[in-house]
Amino acid sequence: MNKKMIAALGCGALAASMMTMTAMAGEDVITVGYAQVGHESDWRTANTQNYQDVFSAENGFDLQLVDCDNDNAAQLEAVRNFISQQLDYIIIAPIQSAGWDTVLQEAQDAGIPVIIADREIEADASLYDAWVGTNTTNEGITAGNWLAETLDGAEANILTIEGSVGASATLGRTDGFAQVAADHSEWTLLDSQSGDFTQAGGQEVMESFIKSYEGQFNVVICQNDNEAYGAMDAMDAAGITYGVDGDVILISFDATHDGLQYTLDGKINCNVECNPIQAETVKGVIEKMQAGEEFETTTLVEDQAFVAPGITSEYATTMTDEVLAGRAY
Ligand code: GYE
């Protein structure tokens, strides 16, 4: 293309024709669709950023990332759109764990490999090619084990702010914690409501819990950090103290940077990590598929747990400034 031709083209047309030139140069750009859950939490923002960094043009990818705004129907539509564009690979972080059979069959019929990421789905493993994510049931078990260790037989009256209804992260954390609670007759699960993994949701649920159970609870479990921020605001407003020096033990999940800052400050007693940095692993799977090599069909991203200074635990690392400094997201 000569200078005159470039000058004659508008910006969009120029971009399009540059893309065609790249494709014609035989640089084998791999097209990838990522049906992302939404932007409900800091965890999610970190996960989105990680995919954008890793599936970059420099790395040879053309990434279409669709923010599905926590809307299950929109997510199914996004995947169908990827199929109709005949993208090379489809990645899905499933909002809901159920209801995937039909669309996965459609992707398979179109010959497009599908990788399920972050969360789990209730579908036969033959309907997708690989899974990369975290074990949220284990995260719930860790939270339960830590609580048992710290209470050492004392009574617990527990309120839980769950994540989004029907999400595997919610189901796993709830189930894991319940497995430990089943061995503790001195624990009472007072109530459990969804805060939709958002700060506003966490605050709203905590405000309503305070109306119903003020003076009756000594443990609050938030299934992610953003819900914990909302719950803290609600407890502050009601004059309820929490954390290592407070009346209420506060447990959170995700261990994002700000969540760990609150843990270091002693406001969150225990924060169970869930690692959002998963894109490099997914890229590794895609590269093996692309090369026709054998690939991991299941890859677990490891998590740990953190506790506030002054607490030592066999299940968690005690927070320090250095730990916080090492947390980029
Ligand atoms: O804990 C929460 C996010 O699916 C593990 O989704 C993820 C969860 C994470 O919105 O913050």
Helices (H) and strands (E) in the chain, counts: 12, 13
Global confidence as pTM: 0.92
* Count of residues making up the chain: 329
Pocket test for ligand 1, best of 42, 44, 229 (most atoms within 8 A of CB): 44
Domain at 136-274+306-325, CATH homologous superfamily = Response regulator (3.40.50.2300)
> Which residues are 306's β-sheet partners?
271, 317
| Nearest CA residue ID for atom 8, ligand 1 | 169
pLDDT of 15 higher than 70: no
Can you tell me which atom of ligand 1 is nearest the CA of 93?
4
Mean pLDDT, to the nearest integer, of 285-297? 98
pLDDT tens figures, 53-85? 999 999 999 999 999 999 999 999 999 999 999
Q: How high is the mean pLDDT of the chain?
A: 93
What pLDDT was estimated at residue 267?
98
C-alpha to C-alpha distance for 99 and 92, rounded to whole angstroms: 13
CA of 198 to the centre of ligand 1 (A): 10
Domain with CATH 3.40.50.2300 in the chain: 3-133+276-296, 136-274+306-325
Predicted confidence (pLDDT) per residue in 91-134, tens digit:
999 999 999 999 999 999 999 999 999 999 999 999 999 999 99
pLDDT for 27: 62
Residues with CB under 6 A from ligand 1: 40-41, 43-44, 118-119, 169, 197, 224, 253-254, 274
133-158 in b/e burial notation, b at 16+ Cβ within 10 A? bbbbbbbbbbbbbbbbbbbeeeebbb
Which atom of ligand 1 sits closest to the CA of residue 119?
4
Q: Which of 249, 209, 207, 258 is nearest to 229 (CA)?
A: 258
pLDDT of residue 116: 98
Neighbours of 124 (CB within 10 A): 11
> Ligand 1 test: best mutation among 50, 221, 274, most atoms within 8 Å of CB?
274
Query: Is the pLDDT at 26 greater than 70, yes or no?
Result: no
CB neighbour class for 219 (10 Å; exposed up to 12, middle 13-18, buried from 19):
buried
Distance from Cα 1 to the centre of ligand 1, integer Å: 47
Identify the CATH number of the domain defined by range 3-133+276-296.
Answer: 3.40.50.2300
pLDDT by residue (tens digit) across 214-237? Answer: 999 999 999 999 999 999 999 999
What percentage of the chain exceeds 90 in pLDDT?
91
Classify residue 242 by its DSSP letter: B
One-letter amino acid at 313 equals S
What confidence tier does 21 reach under pLDDT thresholds 50, 70, 90?
very low
